[in-house]
Amino acid sequence: MFDIGFSELVLIGLVALIVIGPERLPRVARTIGHLAGRLQRYVADVKSDINREMELDELRKMRESVQQTATNIETSVQSELSNAETELNRAVESSAAESAATPPAPETRPAEADPTAVAEPEKPALPQKTA
């Protein structure tokens, strides 16, 4: 952050010792240390908030793209279903038209219901061999 070398820190310390005095210098140094710690924590909190907001923004964009894709898929499925429905309706209509155009087949009755039919006699069962 700041480009301060060791010699510059020694010069600042000597000036502070002369200006503040040896009695109050430890208390001022402790207060400056606490303030520097608070400043670092504040900067870290701001950085984490910014990162969190950036991640939330990315998640929102991702959610929007997923929703857009889902709606596109839904509309394509709906259009395909409607196309299939119209094709099926046309097939049913053409089938109904064909069945109306052809004459109905004459009804045939089964032989059991025909009183003039001759019934075949049942064949006797063959005896089974036992070994």
What's the per-residue H, E or C state across the chain?
CCCCCHHHHHHHHHHHHHHHCCCCHHHHHHHHHHHHHHHHHHHHHHHHHHHHHHHHHHHHHHHHHHHHHHHHHHHHHHHHHHHHHHHHHHHHHHHHHHHHHCCCCCCCCCHHHCCCCCCCCCCCCCCCCCC
Q: Is the pLDDT of residue 123 over 90?
A: no
Residue 49 vs residue 4, higher pLDDT: 49
Mean pLDDT, the chain, rounded, equals: 84
Instruction: List pLDDT tens digits, range 77-92.
Output: 999 999 999 999 998 8
Q: Is the pLDDT of residue 61 over 60?
A: yes
